[in-house]
Amino acid sequence: MISKSLALKVLNAALETGGDYAEIYVEDTKTNAVSLENGKVETSSRNESYGAGIRILNGFRSAYGYTSDLSEKSLLALAKSLAASYQGERKITVKSLTKQRVKVLNKIDQPLASVPTTEKIEVLKEAYSIIHESDPRIVRVITGFSDYHTDIEIFNAEGEEGKQFNNFQERGRMTMLAFASDGEKMETYFSGPARFAGWGYFKNELDWRKEAKTVAEKVIMMLGADECPSGRFPVVITNGWGGVLFHEACGHPLEASATAKGLSCFSGCIGQQIASPLVSAYDDGTIPNEWGSNNLDDEGVPTKKNMLIKDGICVGFMVDRLNGRRLGMEPNGTARRQSFHYEPTSRMSNTYIAAGKDDPEQIIKDTKLGVYVTNFGGGSVNPATGEFNFSASEAYIIRDGKVCEPVRGCTLIGTGKDVLMNIDRVGKDLALGQGMCGAASGYIPVDVGQPTIRLKEITVGGRGGELK
Amino acid sequence: MNVKKFFELAKEKGLSDCQIQISKSKSTDIGIFRKEIDSYTISDSQSIKACGIYNGKFASCTTNRLDKNAFEFLINGIIDAATVSEKEESVDLFEGSEKYHKKNVFNPALAEFPIEKKIELLFQIEKDILASDPRVSEVETVSYRETESSSAFYSSKGLKLSQKRNLFTLVAGAVGKQGEETKTAYNFFYGNDFSKVDEKKFVKELIDELLPQFGGTQCKAAKYPTVLRYDIFSSFVGYFIASASADEVQRHTSFLGDKLHQKVASKKITISERPLDKNPFFTYFDDEGVATYNKDIVKGGVLETFLYNRETAKKDGVSTTGNGYWAGSKIGTDTGFIKVKQGKKSFEEMIAPIKEGVYITDIAGLGTGMNSTTGNFSCQASGYMIRDGKVAEPLNLITLSGNLLKMFADVKDIDKQDAIQSSINCPDVFIKKMSIGGK
């Protein structure tokens, strides 16, 4: 997107005042989205996001800037403005840039942008019909498909020989949102399967008809749900999207952006027990075609399978280049950003608790009184205190080992350290779920995951009074 | 950019009418950590949002790639989107309001104030936070962000409008430790007049937020008289107002849907949209080129109006309320500066009658814990017990659950707090009872 000779000039301008690392991140993202309201095309849109970010590191300091003007004049002016934030002598002159081989982990059969919008609309109309025709109480259905194709070019240097990386990302997401009403109450249910993949996945692998039927069934079931009780009691959390608990309670505090400055509840915890011995956990950006996967990270480091917790012991963090310097650790392919508008930092990709040995059904059978949480809205965490919350959009009461009536509107809260130590059962049914994660470097696609787990006790908030 | 060429190309390609909005933004961010400039970010970006009518269908397209192909990309995008659109009716583009209330809210003095002085202040804030109490273990961040943005609007109907504004945000976060306990607190200051920063007051507010949190426990799960601090209440007001969007009402997915001119809140509640107030949130036209105006949305507890853009107004046979703003790839509904009318009592007077209650000063997870269709919500919270009319021991890791309509109906009192902390300006409120989850 920019020539090697221009990149060389810009890197050298950036390094003029003593920077010890410089980087240019050039991005061209093309987005297509179509949304249907009750089976009729409401909006179809196209967007292009194009620009570059320049970063200069000097020890633990960082200067970052971005522009949507990729002319030589603009990029050199930006590099010089950023360099002016340091007052030193040049340490590095970049003499060459060598293009690096990037291993493509995520193969794309049919690029999403090449699929006619009408073909996507056909799928969305059928999904609408399946949901709408399931029950007359379903009063509104929004179905949509979005695809993002990003071409990325990274030039970086911390010595005379600089590197060039070219990468692409191809992501698609199908969304189904149903509203049901019985005249008094109204409920919603959402499903959004997503992948780093081409159209072949959505057309041939994803069973979206089954997913649409599930959306219809769940929204009707939740219409009849009571309010969730509140208090402290055992909670069983389903596999897949249930991993949002680990994502919030443990994943964010294990990002080097939090641990490096001593601002995380898990700072300095490597080698220490932070979870029940039943828990091992990974962040793995290499799983082929998963929503949170990538060929390499946004600093040009290949993605990896990083072990974070082994049998309850903290064994690693997600580390980006700048925070790696602070920690004395090597970057491990986890630097991510939403777009060139953001400086990269350590973020999760596909983060999950590894499978255990328990039969998931037995975990429920062994629970006398508690709540079984099966779907989530999302959550947030304060990495410094470790206090987290996540909201459950679908849950059931467990009585005498049986799943009973559905409940809605519950929030689970706790601290990362307590909740991880409180996991007393881990199932063998590991699965992943897709979502969007927001933090310092913007909104990025991530997978969360876990097998069915049980928490001995956690604080649950709801409007349904005491659990009986 | 030569917008005349855009209109010529649009006409040539068969668009009957079109509009274009060019936005430019420049920003500088400075963050300090442990007596050093930790991060420095500058930006200069532009984007174009365009919409138009093709074969009687309205559609839009956006880009920030402002090269020679930008106009062609936008127009082809509009044509492709209009071709597949199945919307039954489309609105015409707007010809212009009779009168616009343009004010100059751009403060050139902000950019002229030397950057060195701004950085000096950040270091001073960091130093003063650390020196304020031995329990302050770290200053998580002290950062300053200054943005300058401009927007120019042109339509093929001859309408030309523009506005320019600037704003700075000062943020500080502190970490406190006492024994095994770790607590955090943040303070924010917004504005476009740097001389209004009162450094001592800013630091004191942060420390006053941080230190009393130590020793926080969970209260017993129950329903309590609940006081929401102004900044917490403003989050709920934002969701409440969003439900007055005619778009949601017309789709039968708003809990305010059948309540126009009916009581939707306690008579103590009056919520106004005041886009023409002279503050950094001032805006005199919406994204359809319609003149904005100040209005009551809820007056004395009664819902006075829904919020309309031109399309939803046409459906209901009313005039737009000047609330048409871009929402992703379409013109949706949004609001400018919102103000909730204050009461007359001080905070102390307002909480005096509460024998045992809860005072909420922080929430987390409302974004995912709110069902904006039903108004039901549940989120993490912290704050203090109220005992015998006074703020008492701290509370930590509790939950706050309720329903927006019930909560607004149950507002028993409001105080006279009046601090512009965000685009929603609220007093503190006293709610009869809310569900608090804890032990």
pLDDT tens digits for A18-30?
999 999 999 999 9
Q: What is the mean pLDDT of residues A311-331?
A: 97
User: What residue type is B397 in one-letter code?
Assistant: L
The count of other CB atoms within 10 Å of the CB of residue A430 is: 18
Q: What is the mean pLDDT of residues A70-91?
A: 95
Q: Of the residues A180, A197, A223, which one is the last residue of a structural domain?
A: A223
Residue A318 binned pLDDT confidence (cut-offs 50, 70, 90): very high
Q: Could you say which residues from 377 to 436 on chain B have a Cβ atom under 8 Å away from some Cβ of chain A?
A: 377-380, 396-403, 435
Q: What order do you get walking across the sheet with B271-273 strand by strand?
A: B302-303, B295-299, B271-273, B338-340, B424-425
Residues of B in contact with A46 (CB under 8 A): 61, 73, 77, 80-81
The reply to whether A316 and A184 lie within a common domain is no
Please state, in angstroms and rounded to a whole number, the distance separating the CA atoms of residues B337 and B423.
Answer: 5
How many contacts (CB atoms, under 8 Å) link A and B? 244
Question: A424 is in which domain, residue-wise?
Answer: 227-461
Residue A186 binned pLDDT confidence (cut-offs 50, 70, 90): confident
A386, pLDDT greater than 90: no
Q: What is the pLDDT of residues A336-365, one digit of tens each?
A: 999 999 999 999 999 999 999 999 999 999
β-bridge mates for residue B29, sequence order? B41, B145
Query: Do residues A325 and A59 make contact, with C-beta atoms less than 8 angstroms apart?
Result: yes
The reply to whether A214 and A241 lie within a common domain is no
**How near does any CA of chain B get to the CA of A140, in Å?**
8
A34 interface with B at CB cutoff 8 Å: yes
Q: Write down the pLDDT at residue B422.
A: 81
β-bridge mates for residue B387, sequence order? B356, B390
Question: Is residue A467 one of the residues assigned to a domain?
Answer: no
Please state, in angstroms and rounded to a whole number, the distance separating the CA atoms of residues A316 and A334.
Answer: 12
Q: What is the mean pLDDT of residues A63-90?
A: 95
Q: φ and ψ at A58, to 5 degrees?
A: -145, 100
The reply to whether A83 and A165 lie within a common domain is yes
Is B218 in Cβ contact with A45 (below 8 Å)? no
Token pair in block for residue B355: 């024998």
Q: φ and ψ at B417, to 5 degrees?
A: -55, 135
Torsion of CA A223, A229, A233, A237, to 10 degrees: 20
Query: Do residues A439 and A382 make contact, with C-beta atoms less than 8 angstroms apart?
Result: no
Q: Which of B329, B419, B416 is nearest to B78 (CA)?
A: B329
pTM here?
0.91
Question: Is residue A468 one of the residues assigned to a domain?
Answer: no
A382 interface with B at CB cutoff 8 Å: yes
Q: Which of A435, A425, A296, A324 is nearest to A377 (CA)?
A: A435
A359 interface with B at CB cutoff 8 Å: no
B90 interface with A at CB cutoff 8 Å: no
**Domain definitions of chain B by residue range:** 3-210, 215-236+342-437, 239-340
Q: Write down the pLDDT at residue B211.
A: 96
The reply to whether A88 and A187 lie within a common domain is yes
Q: Which of B81, B368, B378 sits opposite A45 (nearest CB)?
A: B81
Q: φ and ψ at B106, to 5 degrees?
A: -75, 130
Residue A468 binned pLDDT confidence (cut-offs 50, 70, 90): confident
Q: What is the pLDDT along chain B (439 residues), one digit of tens a residue?
A: 789 999 999 999 999 999 999 999 999 999 999 998 989 999 999 999 999 999 999 999 999 998 889 999 999 999 999 999 998 777 788 999 999 999 999 999 999 999 999 999 999 999 999 999 999 999 999 999 999 999 999 999 999 999 999 999 999 999 999 998 999 999 999 899 999 999 999 999 999 999 999 999 999 989 999 999 999 999 999 999 999 999 999 988 899 998 999 999 999 999 999 999 998 889 999 999 999 999 999 999 999 999 999 999 999 999 999 999 998 778 899 999 999 999 999 999 999 999 999 999 999 999 888 988 889 898 999 999 999 999 999 999 999 999 999 999 999 999 998 876 788 999 999 999 999 988 8
Q: What is the pLDDT of residues A224-258, one digit of tens each?
A: 999 899 889 999 999 998 899 899 889 999 999 99
For residue A50, give the chain B residue with the closest CA: B65
Q: What is the pLDDT of residues A98-139, one digit of tens each?
A: 999 999 988 899 999 999 999 999 999 999 999 999 999 999
The reply to whether A276 and A184 lie within a common domain is no
Query: Do residues A206 and A219 make contact, with C-beta atoms less than 8 angstroms apart?
Result: no
Is A48 in Cβ contact with B65 (below 8 Å)? yes
Q: Which of A400, A356, A357, A403 is nearest to A225 (CA)?
A: A403
The reply to whether A234 and A214 lie within a common domain is no
Residue A209's CATH number: 3.30.2290.10
Is A63 in Cβ contact with B40 (below 8 Å)? yes
The reply to whether A319 and A414 lie within a common domain is yes
Q: Which of A140, A385, A466 sits opposite B183 (nearest CB)?
A: A385
A141, pLDDT greater than 80: yes
The reply to whether A158 and A244 lie within a common domain is no
User: What residue type is B275 in one-letter code?
Assistant: P
Residue A378 binned pLDDT confidence (cut-offs 50, 70, 90): confident
Please state, in angstroms and rounded to a whole number, the distance separating the CA atoms of residues A393 and B276.
Answer: 39
> CA separation (Å) from B167 to A300, B63, B106, B150, B153?
35, 24, 9, 12, 21
Q: Write down the pLDDT at residue B91.
A: 77
Chain-centroid distance of CA B171 in Å reads 16
Question: Is residue A77 one of the residues assigned to a domain?
Answer: yes
Q: Of the residues A176, A191, A223, which one is the last residue of a structural domain?
A: A223
B62 interface with A at CB cutoff 8 Å: yes
Q: Of the residues A192, A223, A254, which one is the last residue of a structural domain?
A: A223
The reply to whether A55 and A198 lie within a common domain is yes
Q: φ and ψ at A95, to 5 degrees?
A: -100, -25
> CA separation (Å) from A417 to A248, A261, A380, A414?
12, 19, 15, 9
Token pair in block for residue B343: 């009461």
Is B377 in Cβ contact with A50 (below 8 Å)? no
CA atoms within 13 A on the CB side of A413: 31
Q: Write down the pLDDT at residue A48.
A: 92
Q: φ and ψ at B187, to 5 degrees?
A: -135, 150
Token pair in block for residue B315: 């459906």
**How near does any CA of chain A get to the CA of B98, in Å?**
30
Q: Write down the pLDDT at residue B86.
A: 92
The reply to whether A34 and A143 lie within a common domain is yes
The angle at the Cα of A434, spanning A430 to A435, to the nearest 5 degrees, equals 135
Question: Is residue A109 one of the residues assigned to a domain?
Answer: yes
The reply to whether A210 and A231 lie within a common domain is no
Query: Do residues B233 and B347 make contact, with C-beta atoms less than 8 angstroms apart?
Result: no
Q: Which of A387, A461, A376 is nearest to B402 (CA)?
A: A461
Q: Could you say which residues from 212 to 231 on chain A have a Cβ atom under 8 Å away from some Cβ of chain B?
A: 227-228, 230-231
> CA separation (Å) from B193 to B107, B169, B171, B185, B189?
7, 11, 15, 24, 11
Please state, in angstroms and rounded to a whole number, the distance separating the CA atoms of residues A458 and B383.
Answer: 20
A33 interface with B at CB cutoff 8 Å: yes
Token pair in block for residue A362: 């037995």
Per residue, the 3-state secondary structure of chain A, as one string, reads CCCHHHHHHHHHHHCCCCCCEEEEEEEEEEEEEEEEECCEEEEEEEEEEEEEEEEEEECCEEEEEEECCCCHHHHHHHHHHHHCCCCCCCCCCCCEEEECCCCCCCCCCCCHHHCCHHHHHHHHHHHHHHHHCCCCCEEEEEEEEEEEEEEEEEEEECCCEEEEEEEEEEEEEEEEEEEEECCCCEEEEEECCEECCCHHHHHHHCCHHHHHHHHHHHHHHHHCCEECCCEEEEEEECCHHHHHHHHHHHHHHHEHHHHCCCCCCCCCCCCCECCCCCCCEEEECCCCCCCCCCCECCCCCECCEEEEEECCEECCCECCHHHHHHHCCCCCCCEECCCCCCCCEECCCEEEECCCCECHHHHHHCCCEEEEEEEEEEEEEECCCCEEEEEEEEEEEEECCEEEEEEECEEEEEEHHHHHHCEEEEECCCEEEEEEEEECCEEEEEEEEECCEEEEEEEEECCCCCCC
Give the number of domains in chain A: 2
Please state, in angstroms and rounded to a whole number, the distance separating the CA atoms of residues A440 and A317.
Answer: 17
Angle between helices B115-132 and B199-210 (to 10 degrees): 40
The reply to whether A31 and A44 lie within a common domain is yes
- Please tell me the CATH code under which domain B3-210 is placed: 3.30.2290.10
Q: Could you say which residues from 155 to 214 on chain B have a Cβ atom under 8 Å away from some Cβ of chain A?
A: 175, 182-184
Token pair in block for residue A152: 């990325």
Residues of B in contact with A179 (CB under 8 A): 253, 373
Q: Write down the pLDDT at residue B420.
A: 67
Please state, in angstroms and rounded to a whole number, the distance separating the CA atoms of residues B294 and B271.
Answer: 11
Is A377 in Cβ contact with B368 (below 8 Å)? yes
A265 interface with B at CB cutoff 8 Å: yes
Q: What is the mean pLDDT of residues A41-69?
A: 94
B41 interface with A at CB cutoff 8 Å: yes
B138 interface with A at CB cutoff 8 Å: yes
For residue A75, give the chain B residue with the closest CA: B44
Question: Is residue A436 one of the residues assigned to a domain?
Answer: yes
Is A188 in Cβ contact with B371 (below 8 Å)? yes
| Burial class for A268, CB neighbours closer than 10 Å (0-12, 13-18, 19+) | exposed
Chain-centroid distance of CA B49 in Å reads 21
Residues of B in contact with A118 (CB under 8 A): 84
